[in-house]
Amino acid sequence: MKKQVLFLSLLALLAVFVVALPIAAQDPTPTPMPVPSATPALGSFGQGGTQISFVNGLSGSDGVTLNGMIEQFVQENPDISVQTETIVWDTMYQRLQASLVAGDAPDVVVMHVWALPQYASIGGLLPLNDWIGTGEGQIDPANFTPLALENASFGGTIYGLPLDFHGFGTYVNNDLFEAAGLDPSQPPQTYEEYVEMATALTLDANGNNPDDPNFDPTNVVQWGTTTSWMRVVFLSALAQNGGRNISDDGTTVQIDTEAGRAALQAMYDLIYTHRVAPPPAGFDNWQSFAAGRIGIMPEGSWFRNFATIDNPQLNWTPWPMVPLGEEPAVWMSSHLFAVPVTTTGAQLEAVRRFVTWLSDNNIAWADSGQIPARLDAQAALAPETYPSNIQFAEAFNAHGVYDYPALGWPEMVARLDAELDAVLNGQKSVEQGLADAQQQMQEILARTG
Amino acid sequence: MGQLSTPSDAGLIDINRQGSARRVRLSLKTRESLMAYIFLAPFLFFFFVFVLRSVVFGGWISLHRWPILAPDKGYVAFNNYVSLMNDSLWWTALQNTVVFAALTVAGTTVLSLLAALALNRPLPGQSFFRILFYMPSLLSVSVVAIAWSWLLNTDFGIINYGLQLLGLPKVNWTGDANLVLITLSLVTIWWGFGFPTLVFLAGLRGIPEPLYEAAKIDGAGGWALFWYITLPLLRPTLLFVTVTGFISHFQVFGQPYLMTNQGGPGRASFTVIMYIFQTAWRFFNLGYASAMALTLAAILMILTLIQFRFGGRRVEY
Amino acid sequence: MATIPTTGRSMAAGRGGQILGNVIFFAILLIVALLIIFPIVMMALQSFQTNQTLYRWPPTVITTEPTLVNWQNLLTRDDLRLPRWIFNSVFVATTQTVVVLFVASLAAYAFARLNFPLKTPLFFLLLLTVMIPQQVLLIPNYLTLRDVGLLGTYGSLIWPGVANVFAVFLLRQFFQSIPRDLEEAAILDGASRFGVYWRIVLPLSVSALVALGIFVFLANWNDLFWPLIVTTDLDMRTLPVGLSILNGTYGPQERGLVLAGALFSTIPVLIVYTIFQRWILKGVSITGGLGGR
């Protein structure tokens, strides 16, 4: 018995010690970090008798915007109630597929352009052609760019109604620019200018730039730029170098090409030659930008709310893109409303009203940071509230590049991601990585058609 | 046979009195067989529907191009298997899985053997430790992943803070391609070492005390006792722990799915089961996924046989 | 003859070594114990913090301003179905365990005690399939469940695991170790086969059944893969899947909430374990022992 008491007190003592050690050494002024806001996973809107279920992956602050729109919708349409389920995209797609197989799919979903062929090709989605037209109760196709509608289609049939354009823009930190004696309102026109700017913005702990012989690359406190989301920066750069992911006839992957190598080399050099961007593994772009440790950050249109709402202290300017090649081009995509084939009757009618209403009130979606897909909504954006939306919209309309809508693209992307990751973390050469990606992607393309 | 009351049965017995004894014996045997199959019926039903039929069906699927919802299920013979052999991602996943399983089994075996040896000594608090050591096994993989991801977080994790206090640099536990499998392996060891510990403890208690006494009289020290008595006699237990451990860790899914953003960085923690999951439930390709699953099954069987071959020699007492 | 003094010396050294060994092994036990407690204690402490204090460097272990907001959210917020997920997990795992034990023990009894045609081939067939990993069966079983319209129901989480060959082997082995005398006496007294199985064999096998039951329960309780693919409705998710969604959706945004959820979900298991730990540990040793022999 004595032994037990002795033992237990010893254990307690050790536990206290383990916990107390970090507390004793606590820094008196810890630095808190901002985190982006989240959308509740489940929502219930309205009391109407016709209930529709709506599943989407907009789990960040964009979902909050969407839920605000739904709230408005049910007020104006008291006979309809909406049940939302908002889960991260990956889980959402897996859930959508499983529920299509099981035959209990939701009434309406939001999906990406790249996912549409997968679901349309297996007959999982309802054709929406008669929702769009110039007739009564239809949505005028003149409200969309031809490219937007084309990318909402599969095999000539429209399966999706575009909610937005989203894609990659660039955010720059004005304070860092001013400290480096640069003007944030003058985006670089060439890769050389970009590197020059980024060099001036990169600082090690002693305040040296990468072109200083005393520069310490192991102790960088401020990065000029970043390779950010590697895949879409690469796809943007590919287009800037005159390339495209898949040939126009849909038979050949064109990653391991002159343009592909130039694009990836430009990204690689930012990290390892010019030393103005961090190796990507484990580097948190959002937090670093918020903490004022990145000068120029290519990032998605969806970054806006994190920059404005969660980090009001940030003083930033949007750029349409950074030059990683000769021609202006930037990766973009769309969120689409799509209706599973299992939706019928009163539900289908309600879904149609719901989606049409969200489209007609598309401008509200700009609060999410994305660009409303409707041209009339784009034209109505207030410049002082939505500077990034307007800048990015111009770039997307003029130079936006969608993913080639191949059936196997999601599977190919998984391979491409891994190879880019390996190259940009210094595990493979640019040539090797692209050759490997090309071979795997071509195989998938051949298999999936 | 008291229930035989129908006229025809009674008549049968009456008419054929001579055969009656044999008939009764026969029907006893038949009744036992019938009884046995009644006992077996529920199990056999599930076994047939969810195991036997599924194995055959799985093999059949693997010979097809089988998109989950589309109607065209083209027969492709062994094309899926051929593709698999040429699929660099498959080999990467396999390599990761082997490394992970080997690390985890080795670590678990060493730790649990140590723990069992310690628990087998007359030390205070034995039962408390025993209860505690098995506790992590009760946690679901999601809980384990949530708890450890946060402790191991590069920027805000308490473990990196501890390292910093010791004057060491921050470690990117799950973001470093060279480290991530080791990290997952350590977490898995933490999660699952309790069961082998108890198994080893049972094994240790089964070793007859006189063997140690005799060896001690011969002047054997602690190491010698362990090396020449404990370890050889534990061989069947060791084999059980490593074989079952290897099979279960080879099928790792939850840890990389939850802790490394689905197998990252790059493909550094992408495992075979994750690949099967993605292929079947993200990319709709059931044929290819089935081919992977069956190949995995073959690999596991071969590995098990090898382990038995090298570790399973009978132990002479 | 010269061994006597040697033995004396070695025994003295042995006693010293014994004490040293005890100290070392006790230290090992303590360290391992702390490593086990540490993550759980941290989870508990940090579940009382908001993101404001969690996303900080250096990390906050014990905050000066603890908050209950995570726990309140966890229990009251409409989109968190933690109680439902816990119920699903407990219900599914318990039902499957009971069914497996019943079905497998019936089959095991037939194999252990009864003679019937095709007994040996059948047993051999089972032996062959025990080596097949679950992964092979997932896709066909998924399609089977779709065809019978069970996807997304409790049934889809329970039935595929019922054909547990390992359980049959284990119980058969155990039943064979029970002396036949009792059963034969009962049969002479006019008991039916089922009566013998139900009234004599099962009560004698409680320890093995408990042991096996724990394994079946835990395997189901911990499974992430299968429920992830067969359930879609948020209300039908099991705890591991629900927590993984919670983690994916709220991970970065509401870390404290996720930690509280993870901790909360372990409470029922820990309570059951604390109450039945004697049984559970005994059962584990039995199963491990049977396997290890």
Q: What would the 3-class secondary structure string for A314-326 be?
A: CCEEEECCCCCCC
Distance (Å, rounded) from C-alpha A290 to C-alpha A30?
16
Kindly tell me if the per-residue pLDDT of A406 is higher than 50: yes
pLDDT for residue B315:
40
Mean pLDDT value across residues C29-57: 86
- Contacts across the A-C interface (CB distance below 8 Å): 104
Q: Is there a contact between B140 and C239 if contact means CB atoms under 8 Å apart?
A: yes
pLDDT for residue C168:
93
Kindly tell me if the per-residue pLDDT of C3 is higher than 50: no
Q: Does A41 touch chain C (CB under 8 A)?
A: yes
Q: Is there a contact between B266 and A415 if contact means CB atoms under 8 Å apart?
A: no
Kindly tell me if the per-residue pLDDT of A126 is higher than 50: yes
pLDDT for residue B121:
87
Contacts of C27 (CB under 8 A, 6+ apart): none
Kindly tell me if the per-residue pLDDT of C12 is higher than 70: no
Mutate to test the interface with C, among B142, B183, B187, B281 (most CBs of C within 10 A): B142
Whole-number Cα distances in Å, C53 to A220, A222, C50, C256? 26, 24, 6, 10
pLDDT for residue A330:
94
Closest approach of C121 to chain B, Cα-based (Å) = 13
Q: Where would I find the H helices in chain B?
A: 7-15, 20-47, 53-62, 79-85, 88-119, 126-134, 141-151, 158-165, 180-192, 194-205, 209-217, 222-225, 231-233, 235-250, 254-259, 272-281, 286-311
pLDDT for residue A182:
94
What amino acid occupies position A223?
W
pLDDT digits (tens, 9 = 90+) for A88-121: 888 888 888 888 887 788 999 999 999 999 889 8
Mutate to test the interface with C, among B33, B34, B49, B140 (most CBs of C within 10 A): B140
Closest approach of B166 to chain A, Cα-based (Å) = 11
**Pick from C7, C59, C116: CB nearest B157:** C59
CA torsion sign for A34, A36, A40, A44 is positive
C151 to chain A: closest CA residue:
A102
Model confidence at A14, in pLDDT bands (50, 70, 90)? Answer: low
Q: Does A3 touch chain B (CB under 8 A)?
A: yes
Q: Is there a contact between B176 and A4 if contact means CB atoms under 8 Å apart?
A: no
| Cβ-Cβ contacts under 8 Å, C139 against chain A | none
Mutate to test the interface with B, among C9, C26, C32 (most CBs of B within 10 A): C32
pLDDT for residue B13:
41
Residue B293: count other Cβ atoms within 10 Å of its Cβ: 29
pLDDT for residue B25:
58
| Cβ-Cβ contacts under 8 Å, B54 against chain C | 136-137, 140-141, 144
pLDDT digits (tens, 9 = 90+) for B235-273: 888 888 898 898 889 999 999 988 987 787 778 899 999
Q: To the nearest whole number, what is the mean pLDDT of chain C? A: 83
Q: Is there a contact between C37 and B132 if contact means CB atoms under 8 Å apart?
A: yes
Model confidence at C290, in pLDDT bands (50, 70, 90)? Answer: low
pLDDT for residue B202:
86
Q: Is there a contact between B70 and A121 if contact means CB atoms under 8 Å apart?
A: yes
Mean pLDDT value across residues C34-62: 84
Give this prediction's pTM. Answer: 0.82
Q: Is there a contact between B37 and C131 if contact means CB atoms under 8 Å apart?
A: no
pLDDT digits (tens, 9 = 90+) for C191-225: 888 999 999 999 998 888 888 888 888 888 888 88
pLDDT digits (tens, 9 = 90+) for A267-318: 999 999 999 999 887 788 888 898 899 999 999 998 888 888 878 889 999 9
Q: To the nearest whole number, what is the mean pLDDT of chain B? A: 84
Of C62, C27, C59, the closest CA to residue A20 belongs to: C62
Kindly tell me if the per-residue pLDDT of C286 is higher than 80: no
- Tokens 């529907």 correspond to B49
For residue A2, give the 3-state DSSP assignment: helix
Closest approach of C220 to chain A, Cα-based (Å) = 20
Contacts of A225 (CB under 8 A, 6+ apart): A194, A198, A201, A270, A276, A277, A294, A295, A296, A297, A298, A322
Mean pLDDT value across residues A25-54: 72
Q: To the nearest whole number, what is the mean pLDDT of chain A? A: 88
What percent of chain B is modeled with pLDDT above 70?
Answer: 89
Q: Answer yes or no: are the C-beta atoms of B197 and B112 closer than 8 Å.
A: yes
Report residue C173 as tokens: 């082995």
Chains in contact with B via at least 3 Cβ–Cβ pairs below 8 Å? A, C
pLDDT for residue C288:
61
Model confidence at A13, in pLDDT bands (50, 70, 90)? Answer: low
Pairwise pLDDT comparison (B157 vs A324), residue with the higher score: A324
Closest approach of C11 to chain A, Cα-based (Å) = 26
Kindly tell me if the per-residue pLDDT of A186 is higher than 70: yes
Q: Residue C173: which H helix or E strand, with range?
A: helix C165-176
Residue A374 CA to its chain's centroid (Å) = 20
Model confidence at A76, in pLDDT bands (50, 70, 90)? Answer: very high
Q: Does A89 touch chain C (CB under 8 A)?
A: no
| Cβ-Cβ contacts under 8 Å, B289 against chain C | 139
B161 to chain C: closest CA residue:
C58
Q: Is there a contact between B154 and A282 if contact means CB atoms under 8 Å apart?
A: yes
Q: What is the CA radius of gyration of chain B?
A: 28
Where is average pLDDT lowest: A408-412, B105-109, C15-19, C186-190? Answer: C15-19
